[in-house]
Structure 1
Amino acid sequence: MDPESVARASRVPHGGTTDPDLLDFSANTNPERPPGVEAVYQDAFEQSTRYPDDDYRDFREAASAYVGCDSSSVIPTAGGLEALRLAFELTLAPGDTALVPEPSFGEYEREIELQGATPVAVSHDELLDSDPTGHAVAVVCTPNNPTGEVAPRDELVAFAARCQESGTVLVADEAFLDFTSVPSIAGEPGTIVARSLTKMFGLPGIRAGFAVASGELRDSLAVARRAWSLSTPAAAVGAHCMRETEFVATTRERVESERERMAERLSARFDVSPSDAPFLLCDVGDEAVESLVEQARERGVAIRDATTFPTLDSHVRVAVKRPDENDRLLGALDV
C-alpha cells in the first residue's frame, strides 16, 4: 500500500442502515439464512479459545465444490473485499493503471488508489470489448453492482484470454454470481476471482469470503494472505453455508420470481434496468432522488441513493427480499 495515497484517500459510501425500525432495501443481502447456522456458530464459538487451523482445509474444500475449482486454489479471506484488497496489493504498484467498470462498486477505485495506482473507468457494458494492453489490472464485476447484469461467460473468458496475452491480471468480482446459474471463471489463467459469502447467505457480519487463482498468482496470494485470515466461527459457518445447495437453489428461484414481479410494478413509475442480481436499479427521471429516499424512510423502508455511483444522477437501487417485504417496498414507493 502506498502511504502517500493513503493520506489522500477517503471512505466510500455504501448501502445498509443501522436503524432497527427500518426495513432495509439499501443493502443487497439475503433476508434468509441456511438451516443449522446458529448451531454451527455456537459450536465454533466453543472452539474459539484456540487459534484457528491456518490451513482451513474444510473451508477450502467446501469453497472448491461451491465454485468448481481445486481446493488448493482457494485463498480464505475475511470477506470478498479483503480478497479484492489482497489481489490489488499483489498486482499494483504506484504509477500502474487499472481498468474498472463504471458505474460499479466504489471500493474498486478506492482500493486501486490506495496502492498508488490509477483507475481508468470504462462503461460497464463496454469493458469486455476494451483493450487491456498496458494496464496492470482489469476489473470485472459480474453481475455488475449497481446495474445488475451478468457478464456473458463466453465473452468474459475471451476477455480473460486477452488479458493473459497482454500481461494484465483480470480481477473478477463474483459477489452476486451465486444468485445466477452462470459458472464461475475460477481457475482461468491469469485471473483472480473474489467471492463473498455475505450476499447469498445473509451474514454480512460474519466476514467470510475467498479468492481463487492458479499458478504463480495463487502462490503469491497464499504467501501474502495474513495468518488466521478467517475466525473460527467464520470458517465453520462459511463451510456449512456453501454445502447448503438446496438453500441456494431455493433462494435463486425466489429472487428470480420476485425480481420479475417487482420490476413489472416498479416500471409503472420508473425506468428499471434489466437485472440478474438480487437488486434493481431504477432511474427516477425528473423526480428528486433525495425526496424519494426520504419518502420511503418515513414509511419505514430504506432504499439506496444510487447517485453516489459515478455517472448516475437520477437513480435509486432496491434489494429483492421476501414477497411480503417486497410488497411493503412497493407500497412505500406508491407503485
Structure 2
Amino acid sequence: MDPDSVDGAGRVPHGSSDDPDVLDLSANINPRVPGGTRRAYRAAFEDARSYPNDAYPAFRAAAADYVGCDPEQIVPTAGGLAAIRLTIGVTVSPGDRVLVPAPSFGEYVREVELAGGEAVVVPHGELLDRDPAEYAMAIVCTPNNPTGECYPTAALRAFADRCEAAETTLLADEAFLGFTDRPSLAGRPGVVVARSLTKLFGLPGLRAGFVVADGVVGDRLRTARPAWSLGGPAAAVGAHAMRDSAFVEETRRRVERERAFLRSGLDTRGFDALPSDAPFVLCDVGESPADLLASCRERGVVLRDATTFRGLDSHVRIAVRDRDATERLFAVLDEVR
C-alpha cells in the first residue's frame, strides 16, 4: 500500500443489512450452509485457543481439490477481498496502470489507487479485447458483479494466454464462479485467482478465502501473506464446506431454478431483468431507483442500489434466494409499482 495514496481514497458502498426484521436481497449470500457446518464450527472452538498451524494443510488441500490445482499454489486469506488486496499489493507499484472492468466490483479501483496505481476503467464487455502489454495487471470478474454474466471460456483463456505472453498479471475474481459449472482459471500460468467462501457457502462473517498462484507472483504472495492469515475456526469450517461437493451441486441447480423464477416474475412486472449466471439479477427500472428502493425498504425488503456501480444510473440488483423470499418480493413490488 502506498501511504501517499491513502489520504485521497474513500470507502466503497456495499449491499447487506444487519436488520433482522427485513428481507435482505441486497447481499448475494446463499441462504443455506453445508450440512454439519455448525458442528464443525463448534468443534473448532479449541482451535481458537491457540495460534493456527500457519501452513494450513487441511484448508489448502481442500481448496486445491475444490478448484483443481496443486495445494502449494493455495495462499489462505481472510476472505476474497483480502485476497484481492494482497495480490494488488505484491504486483502494483506507484504509477503502474491496471486494466479494470466497469460496471464491476468497486473495490478494484480503490485497491489499485491505494497501491498508488492508475486504474484504467473500461466496459467489462470490452476488457478482453484490450492489449494487456500496456498494463502491469488486468482484472476480470467472472461472473461479473453486478451484471451477472460470465466471460466466454475460450475468450477468457485466450486473454489469459496474451497476459502471460506480455508478462502482465491477470487477477481473476471468481467469487461467484462456484455457482456455475464453468472451469476455474486456477493453476493457469500467469493467472492469480481470488476465491471467497462468503457467497456460495453462506458464511460472510467467517471471513475465509484464498488465492491461487504460482511463479514469481505466487512466491511474493506466500512471502507477503500475514502470519496466521486465516483463523483456526475459519480454516476448519472452510475445509469442511469445500469438501461438500453435493451441497455445491445442489446449490447450483437450485439457484439456476430460482433465478429463472425471479427473472420471469420481474419481466412480468415490467422490469428489464438482464440474463445472469450469478446468484443475483441486475434490473433496469427505467428511472431513478431511489423511490422504489425506499418503498421496498418501508415494506421490509432491501434491494441493492446499483447506481453506486460506475456507469449505472437506473438499476437495482436483486439476490436470488428461495421461493418464499422471491414471492414476498413480488408481493411488495405489486404494491409499489
* TM-score computed with the length of structure 2 as normaliser: 0.98
The 2-side partners of 1:47 and 1:237 are apart by 11
Quote the residue 1:238 is aligned against: 238
Question: What's the secondary structure of 1:87's corresponding residue?
Answer: helix
The 2-side partners of 1:44 and 1:205 are apart by 16
- After superposition, the C-alpha distances for 1:163-215 in whole angstroms (9 at most, x for unaligned) are 11112100000000000000101111111000000000010000000000112
Question: What's the secondary structure of 1:119's corresponding residue?
Answer: strand
Quote the residue 1:166 is aligned against: 166
Quote the residue 2:219 is aligned against: 219
Quote the residue 1:149 is aligned against: 149
Question: What's the secondary structure of 1:172's corresponding residue?
Answer: strand
Quote the residue 2:280 is aligned against: 279
Whether 2:140 is the aligned partner of 1:140: answer yes
Corresponding letter in the other structure for 2:97: T
What fraction of aligned residue pairs are identical, expressed as a percent?
59
Quote the residue 2:35 is aligned against: 35
Shift of 1:222: 0.7
- 5+ long unaligned stretches in structure 1: none
- 5+ long unaligned stretches in structure 2: none
Query: Is this contact kept in 1: 2:91–2:217, CA < 8 A?
Result: no
Whether 2:47 is the aligned partner of 1:9: answer no
Corresponding letter in the other structure for 2:280: F
Corresponding letter in the other structure for 1:270: F
Quote the residue 1:315 is aligned against: 315
The 2-side partners of 1:215 and 1:169 are apart by 11
Shift of 1:220: 1.2
- After superposition, the C-alpha distances for 1:226-254 in whole angstroms (9 at most, x for unaligned) are 10000011000000000011111111111
Shift of 1:47: 2.4
For the aligned residue pairs, the C-alpha RMSD in angstroms reads 0.9
Higher mean alpha-carbon deviation, 104-113 vs 150-159, is at: 150-159
> Structure 2 matches for 1:260-271, cutoff 5 A?
260-268=260-268, 269-271=270-272
Shift of 1:295: 1.2
Quote the residue 1:333 is aligned against: 333
Question: What's the secondary structure of 1:267's corresponding residue?
Answer: helix
Higher mean alpha-carbon deviation, 207-216 vs 325-334, is at: 325-334
The 2-side partners of 1:332 and 1:169 are apart by 45
Question: What's the secondary structure of 2:135's corresponding residue?
Answer: coil
Corresponding letter in the other structure for 1:271: D
The 1-side partners of 2:143 and 2:331 are apart by 27
Quote the residue 1:58 is aligned against: 58
Quote the residue 1:291 is aligned against: 291
Question: What's the secondary structure of 1:69's corresponding residue?
Answer: coil
Corresponding letter in the other structure for 2:203: L
The 1-side partners of 2:153 and 2:209 are apart by 22
The 1-side partners of 2:48 and 2:19 are apart by 30
Quote the residue 2:123 is aligned against: 123
Shift of 1:261: 1.1
Task: Report how many residues are paired.
Answer: 334
Shift of 1:46: 2.0
The 1-side partners of 2:43 and 2:223 are apart by 29
Whether 2:65 is the aligned partner of 1:79: answer no
